[in-house]
A and B are shown apart, each in its own frame.
Chain A
């Protein structure tokens, strides 16, 4: 039974990883921009949730109504000032430059958060945090259930949006052929701007969930790391695959905790990463052969 409990926590953690990774997957898979700062943005969004809760007693899931548009504007600002100018580069150069710039952003955001909110860990304690649903011997925290539901809704919602709405399809079109999309009458500049803003806004979902656990300035790069491992597991360009990759990483990590102890959780993740790189570098959930 203890084993099932570990797996449950693995599933919950995995859903959270998927929530952090989904914005990164959108921006990287569709726009070719490698944003290492995604986890740090989730950290900033989480501080937003913490502050709204501390000062106005707004529940993190309710304050999403404020943090989502807030992060969207942050994304728009980032794109206009930094990433838009990279569209003139070839894909390799764009990937490299965006990675370096966002690496600088990681440092800026971590320092800014430390100056503004100190390096101490913070958390949101709501009426329901700590309460669990008992399912036989299994104990599932309500926040965990909310995380899983949120991850499923957000990821499948994004998938539906990209595949079945006009605007979503135009995002795909621009990603496939920038010039051709322009000739078809798509406003390429607006589409890429909104897509990037959307990718950054998605970090607010992760932020809301993270604020219910603990948030400190240093967690940003850690979340990015999990998100990047998920991208490699799922394969670049896969949206639905992110959820499954998240669950896989979460469960394997939980198994690692169960078998070798909590100190080595990260090493287990790294091992899966290396194994996938060796055996199936295009990702587990992409059918395309070769890289």
Chain B
């Protein structure tokens, strides 16, 4: 319990320190890197509560991210205050999640994965068909564009996502989620309503993915309407969670730091081929380090232990 309190105090201190960053530097590069970091932490942690803690693999996170971006941008450009449009974006994602979650989460196996992938590809194509152009900011919003409010929006979204997800997974609900992941049949047998926990996890996940999308819509001055729906936004959260450590609270945070740094490095040196590297890293992680960075110490210890055993024999 003391450990947990220490961790919470430390996390709060980090958030406060990050909130103070704009008082010490005005370099735009620092802000945009940190904004991306906060975005990826939010998005990957939102994937983690469903994929890592509840065991339901969502391969279409882009649909929920994109839905949040689309709704928030449409409303904001139309003149609705930003904080209301971003919340509306989150709610839009939740509605999408209910539509696909109600039929697909009742079933076990591949149905949820297929459903989410279908929603993501169809959303991308449909949005690309209906809104083929670029979304520009109106001139008066463009004139007042500044990175500082964007920075705080991303920071607040991330802090909220981390707090809500932390307290959910460390509660009774979190136990239900983990029971669902570890053995759904056994959990149902002892009276756990697994559908309920899967649905709760999915709703929280899609809500924060939608908020992250809203942040994206607020951050970028101009982008193709379909851009937040593209496959990369499905892939990135999964990659980050698995690099960091799936089903652990710090995993997505560590993974996001690694990913943002590596991406900056690779994008500068390799250009388009950087996606190739990430694809290969992802496959190697799944095959050989399924617990990610978080699991590395245990993996190494296990290697040594095994070697010791052989010597002992």
Contact = CB atoms under 8 A, between A and B. Distances in A.
Interface of A: 28, 34, 36, 82, 85, 92, 95-97, 99-101, 103-108, 110-112, 114-115, 221-222, 224-225, 228-229, 231-232, 236, 262-264, 266-267, 269-270, 273-274, 277-278, 281, 291
Interface in B100-127: 100, 102-104, 106-111, 113-115, 117-119, 121-122, 125-126
Interface string B278-313: 111011001100100000000000000000000000
Given A99-B110, A110-B231, A291-B108, A273 B279 contact: no
A180 B283 CA distance: 31
Given A99-B110, A221-B231, A277 B103 contact: yes
Contacts of B102: 278
Contacts of A112: 276
B99 interface: yes
A92 B113 CA distance: 12
B118 A228 contact: yes
A107 B195 CA distance: 31
Given A281-B107, A281-B111, A101 B287 contact: yes
9 contacts: A104-B286, A111-B272, A221-B231, A224-B117, A228-B118, A229-B118, A232-B114, A263-B129, A274-B100
Contact of B57 (A100, A104, A270, A273): A100
A108 B281 CA distance: 10
A36 B117 contact: yes
Given A99-B57, A224-B117, A229-B118, A104 B283 contact: yes
A228 B117 contact: yes
A34 B110 contact: yes
B273 A263 contact: no
A82 B283 contact: yes
Given A104-B286, A111-B273, 11 more contacts: A28-B110, A34-B113, A97-B290, A99-B110, A101-B283, A107-B235, A236-B110, A269-B122, A277-B103, A281-B106, A291-B107
A266 B126 contact: yes
Nearest to A39: B121
Contacts of A97: 286, 290
Contacts of B108: 92, 291
A85 B287 CA distance: 8
A269 to B, nearest CB: 7
Given A111-B273, A274-B100, A267 B115 contact: no
A138 B290 CA distance: 56
Contacts of B287: 82, 85, 101
A105 to B, nearest CB: 7
A202 B57 CA distance: 27
B276 A108 contact: yes
Nearest to A100: B286
Nearest to A95: B110
Contact of B242 (A92, A99, A100, A277): A100
Contact of A277 (B104, B117, B283): B104
Nearest to A278: B103
A31 to B, nearest CB: 13
Nearest to A110: B231
A107 B117 contact: no
A107 B231 contact: yes
Which 9 pairs of residues, A with B, have the shortest CB-CB distance? A266-B122, A108-B279, A277-B103, A107-B279, A225-B121, A104-B282, A104-B283, A111-B275, A263-B129
Nearest to B246: A100
A37 B57 CA distance: 16
B114 A263 contact: no
B42 to A, nearest CB: 21
A231 B118 CA distance: 12
A108 B287 CA distance: 16
A270 B283 contact: no
Contacts of A236: 110
B130 interface: yes
Interface string B114-148: 11011101100110011000000000000000000
B155 interface: no
Nearest to B103: A277
Nearest to A263: B129
B238 interface: yes
Nearest to B271: A115
Contacts of A274: 99-100, 103, 115
Given A95-B110, A96-B57, A273 B286 contact: no
B231 A106 contact: yes
